Structure 1
Amino acid sequence: MAFRKAAKGTALVGSGALAALYGLSQFSEYRRNQARLAHVEAAEQVQMTHQDELPSRQAQLATLKSTEEFDILVIGGGATGSGCALDAVTRNLKTALVERNDFSSGTSSRSTKLIHGGVRYLQKAIMKFDYEQYMMVKEALHERSNLLDIAPHLSAPLPIMLPVYKWWQLPYYWLGIKMYDLVAGSQCLKSSYVLSKTKALELFPMLKKDKLVGAIVYYDGQHNDARMNLAIALTAARYGAAIANYTEVVHLLKKTDPQTGRKRVCGARCRDQITGQEFDVRAKCVINATGPFTDSVRKMDDQRNPNICQPSAGVHIVIPGYYSPDNMGLLDPATSDGRVIFFLPWEKMTIAGTTDTPTDVTAHPIPMEEDINFILTEVRNYLSPDVEVRRGDVLAAWSGIRPLVTDPSSKDTQSICRNHIVNISESGLVTIAGGKWTTYRSMAEETLDAAVKEHKLSGGPSQTVGLMLEGAKDWSPTMYIRLVQDYGLEIEVAQHLASTYGGRAFEVAKMAQVTGKRWPIVGKRLVSEFPYIEMFTMVAT
């Protein structure tokens, strides 16, 4: 309690800065210790056995095809669906999950790679006195902290610079960012700070110098979204969930409730996309977690169901790494049409985006040329004229569909709140819609709470706060050194394996080692510019 008062005072009085820094360093150590205890407590509370060996896809399909009834069947293997499966199985519920493509093949792998509370949502909450958006930011900041703790190999804090070009904006933006820190409270990653024009240009030398007043730096998290999604799904599988990709739901199964006489969802007819074989998966509760495709599953339940999602396309482009520093991003909070643009370092390249345009989920989203040109224009607006930004610098582009929840009074998707809703149909289908990557865990918890209550399941409370994800155990920032020493891998390759697989990187390294040879360096790169290497497996004859 004393620290809370001290932190509050130093946020308002500049003379307490040194005391605040000392207090923050002490508190950071305290929070790390508390996180370690939370990890131990979370693991001990889970009743399911953690499996050392993952079942094969064939074994998982065999479990799905069994006549035994599951407690929970989740449709959708994105972040939210995988989070629901992990939440369910760690409540000791018999859980299944099916995904018609690869895990994280859709929206969950096409994000801005940020774990954030939503600075612009806090701005809207303050300007419009919107309590709902304020609570959404507060929840997201809590989940940001938890996600950084449970998957440290896949995530890390990232400083983001907000350049200021008008004097009056400096106190305005500073106050807003400090409010962001205060809302985070004890879960603030690092305190934001102001930079002079000279220091801002030292850190971000490609910035436009004319009229630059200074800059403000704040912290959010960055993560490998596709690998994070897969880590959640693999953790669910290790705790006993039966999960299978390339398994599409053809239609929902229903039976008549003897007490009410109404039809109730009791599972799904699935098709193995590889073999074409169809089979039934029976479950007491079916959860629809299909993101932008939410309404298609809802209409499987009842064609009369109205649409509850307004899909929006977000386009990102990849440009060379020299457009941003290696360890700092940049935020443009006020683009020409009111959208927010980020420039973020990623895999030695720079990600720039995103757009926010209404779209149709019936066709695979393709990045539109006008969206790419819009992003390039905004990049040019913030960079020095000495830096020539060319269309040919775009190395890649992708478009992801955000499953935004429709606001009936809204006329455009920019003003749609990214909050989520949990809907239960008359037939018992549980739908989780909306939300964002950062809050996948709390969304899953709320969904399972509703499912347990509606279907009178025996599951207890959620156990996923502090529960370490696949690869997090035994990982450390210096783990890659042992990979270099023990397996003779190149440093860049070892760093890639450690940051991708965490503590499981040693198992991967063994597959890249030629038997009986330690030197010269093993782990042949597939492409010289990237740290991806060949794997060697033993095939029985």
Structure 2
Amino acid sequence: ALAVVALVDPEEYSSSNILVRRHPSDIFDKRGYPKRPVPTRCEQIQRLKQEEEFDLLIIGGGATGTGMAADAATRGLKTAVVEANDFASGTSSRSTKLAHGGVRYLEKAFKNFDYSQLHLVFEALSERKRLLRNAPHLSRQLPIMTPCYHFWEVPYFWAGMKVYDTLAGRQGLTWSRYLTPYEAVRQFPTLRTENVHEGTLKGSIVYYDGQFNDARLCLLLACTAAEEGAAVANYTEVVDLLKDEDTGRVRGAKCRDKLTGRTFEVRARQVVNACGPFSDAVRQMSDPEARALVAPSSGVHITLPDYYSVEGYGMIVPKTRDGRVVFLLPWEGHTIAGTTDSESEITFNPRPSEKDIRFILEAIEDYLSVKVRREDVSSAWSGIRPLISNPDSANTSELVRDHLIMTDRNGLVTICGGKWTTYRLMAEQGVDRAIEEGKLSPKGACRTPSLKVVGGDGYHLGLHTEIAQEYVVPHRPGAIDTRVAKHLTAAYGDRARVVTRIAEDQGLGHRLARGHPQLEAEVAYAARYEYCTGVEDFLARRTRLAFLDARAAEQALPRVVAILGKELKWGWFRRRKELAQGKEMLKTFSQGTTA
């Protein structure tokens, strides 16, 4: 019976939920540029100032906020979203980059006889499949190996994964399988056959999960919302909430454009707080007596050279010396390893500690045959996960299992917690609550189960070949080769052709850093079509160079400043300021704190 539940998702295949977006021929003109590019940031700010009243104002431009904006806009609601910094500048760009299918929920369900955990498995499976389908250029399925060094681990993990495969049904990816020790080392040559603490390798269990580019997915959700009519603005800080003088109900926000310093008011029938770790600060603007909900937890990741992993294969360390879980994953031509889980303060730009970096290195050292070296760490970053304490419990340490949606006495809706895999479902539930609380009148039902983000409409697996064939120019420096073509299509989908058109038309086809595929043309594209306002936006989130290689990002910095300065008409002072700020930002990726 459980398998039958997982096999069919009636809502996904309901005709009322199928949204057909524009055909690529309707998106691009004959020269290859977008016919109707998203409104510029200045145009979006003007709309926020001039619109008499929005249906929905969303505070927060992370995964949940941009997901809600895309959902609400496609339902026909007049939608606005404001973000105090850049889209995905916080937790949403600092994840493990995995779309989990709920394997760990399944283990808890059977260990604790907890059916609610089983519900989370089905939920995660369904949402993972939708994420992979709706952002095909930004995501892929990835086999992940679980090495077994005790005889009992092989049947234990194998049986668990077979139950998982059966429950997944059509929502699953590829079925799990067992590899002998010989096959495991053949597939993952750096895997250690003798573990000092665990014993001799007895084999490996391989299962499949999703992997995706978190920051770009968040950004493209904002761009998708903008294409669907939403007013979206980064670097727009909420400094206060507006309330109805008679009822005290929250009816908008006083905002400050951080790039100009000017303030303005945005009015809306319903306001939603989707600020992640910073949710309590907004809740206390509405109700100064509001009890804190967020229990912040810090997660650190490090980036290593590609030879630490195998392209197309990840590995999970199911239990480190202190009982934690660590992943070792190929990503963007490198290897990322993490994560830690420790209590943290809420800060905008958290830095990884040297202790956490060493912990990750020691954890993977037990499982790898290669020498694990501190000097191989090319980047390290920390993200704050907003765990939520249960507001209905007298025990403030009791945490909400997944996510929380609540409405305060002044009508402010807060949505917090959750994870990237289920962002779409959270957004749908958040919009549903906003419609109910604000008595809004959408023009249709939720469309996001089949809504492809910008770049996904014309994407297919062979697109990089077409890009390489069309734009390779023999004997010319900066010609686009296969590696660059793969990078462009993975980052931009069908919009990769716009990047290459800019490269040809403006002579911006050179790489920004030696050994990396990012092109100069991507800087111009980001400034024109992706709300890029500064070097940090580009190096950390429009591309992921800061997360991959802090030294390479510093090498690219002067050229990024020059191109952005030309596109955004910066003066000498602004260029010098951006250069200095870029160097300071990159220090947070290249150095661990001593704490």
Aligned AA for 1:433?
Answer: C
1:475 equivalent among 426, 443, 459 = 459
Measured after TM superposition, the shift of residue 394 of structure 1 is 1.2
Measured after TM superposition, the shift of residue 256 of structure 1 is 3.6
- CA deviations over 1:28-49 (Å, ceiling 9, x no partner): xx99xx989979922379xxx9
Contact 2:21 2:457 in 1 (8 A): no
- CA deviations over 1:170-223 (Å, ceiling 9, x no partner): 111112222222332211101001111100010111111121000000000000
Query: Which aligned pairs between 1:178-197 and structure 2 lie closer than 5 A?
Result: 178-197=162-181
Equivalence for 1:511: 502
State whether structure 2 residue 408 is matched by structure 1 residue 422: no
State whether structure 2 residue 300 is matched by structure 1 residue 311: no
Alpha carbons of 1:181 and 1:256: their partners in 2 closer, same or farther (altered >3 Å)? farther
Query: Which aligned pairs between 1:38-437 and structure 2 lie closer than 5 A?
Result: 41-43=18-20, 52-210=36-194, 211-257=200-246, 262-362=247-347, 364-384=349-369, 387-407=370-390, 416=399, 418-437=401-420
Measured after TM superposition, the shift of residue 493 of structure 1 is 1.2
Contact 1:317 1:396 in 2 (8 A): yes
Contact 2:63 2:420 in 1 (8 A): yes
Measured after TM superposition, the shift of residue 317 of structure 1 is 0.6
State whether structure 2 residue 512 is matched by structure 1 residue 526: yes
Aligned AA for 1:179?
Answer: V
**Cα-Cα RMSD:** 2.8
Partner Cα separation in structure 1 for residue 487 and residue 471 of structure 2 = 14
Contact 1:35 1:149 in 2 (8 A): no
Partner Cα separation in structure 1 for residue 17 and residue 446 of structure 2 = 15
Contact 2:389 2:396 in 1 (8 A): no
Contact 2:90 2:348 in 1 (8 A): no
Partner Cα separation in structure 1 for residue 420 and residue 490 of structure 2 = 20
Measured after TM superposition, the shift of residue 69 of structure 1 is 0.2
Partner Cα separation in structure 2 for residue 449 and residue 37 of structure 1 = 18
SS of the residue corresponding to residue 42 of structure 1 reads coil
Partner Cα separation in structure 1 for residue 394 and residue 185 of structure 2 = 43
SS of the residue corresponding to residue 261 of structure 2 reads coil
Equivalence for 2:531: none
Aligned AA for 1:153?
Answer: H
List structure 1 runs of 4+ shifted beyond 6 angstroms: 34-40, 409-412, 536-541
Alpha carbons of 1:539 and 1:209: their partners in 2 closer, same or farther (altered >3 Å)? closer
Contact 2:144 2:207 in 1 (8 A): yes
Measured after TM superposition, the shift of residue 497 of structure 1 is 1.0
Measured after TM superposition, the shift of residue 267 of structure 1 is 0.2
Aligned AA for 1:283?
Answer: A
Partner Cα separation in structure 2 for residue 300 and residue 326 of structure 1 = 48
Contact 1:99 1:247 in 2 (8 A): yes
Contact 1:39 1:468 in 2 (8 A): no
Equivalence for 2:488: 497
Measured after TM superposition, the shift of residue 109 of structure 1 is 0.5
State whether structure 2 residue 438 is matched by structure 1 residue 449: no
Structure 2 unaligned runs (5+)? 28-34, 195-199, 473-479, 526-565, 570-595
Contact 1:289 1:432 in 2 (8 A): yes
Structure 1 unaligned runs (5+)? 9-26
Partner Cα separation in structure 2 for residue 540 and residue 437 of structure 1 = 32
Equivalence for 1:14: none
Aligned AA for 1:72?
Answer: L
Contact 1:76 1:97 in 2 (8 A): yes
Partner Cα separation in structure 1 for residue 518 and residue 234 of structure 2 = 23
Contact 2:404 2:417 in 1 (8 A): yes
- CA deviations over 1:275-301 (Å, ceiling 9, x no partner): 000000000011100111111111111
Answer with 398-407 or 208-217: which moved more. 398-407
Equivalence for 2:422: 439
Alpha carbons of 1:442 and 1:399: their partners in 2 closer, same or farther (altered >3 Å)? same
Measured after TM superposition, the shift of residue 461 of structure 1 is 2.6
Answer with 275-284 or 328-337: which moved more. 328-337
Aligned AA for 1:531?
Answer: P
Measured after TM superposition, the shift of residue 499 of structure 1 is 0.8
SS of the residue corresponding to residue 349 of structure 2 reads coil
Contact 1:316 1:399 in 2 (8 A): yes
Q: Aligned residue pairs: how many?
A: 500
Contact 1:232 1:470 in 2 (8 A): yes
Measured after TM superposition, the shift of residue 303 of structure 1 is 1.2
Q: TM-score, normalised by structure 1?
A: 0.87
Percent of aligned positions that are identical: 50
Measured after TM superposition, the shift of residue 514 of structure 1 is 3.8
Partner Cα separation in structure 1 for residue 87 and residue 281 of structure 2 = 19
Partner Cα separation in structure 1 for residue 482 and residue 373 of structure 2 = 33
Contact 2:301 2:338 in 1 (8 A): yes
Aligned AA for 1:379?
Answer: I
Partner Cα separation in structure 2 for residue 528 and residue 366 of structure 1 = 26
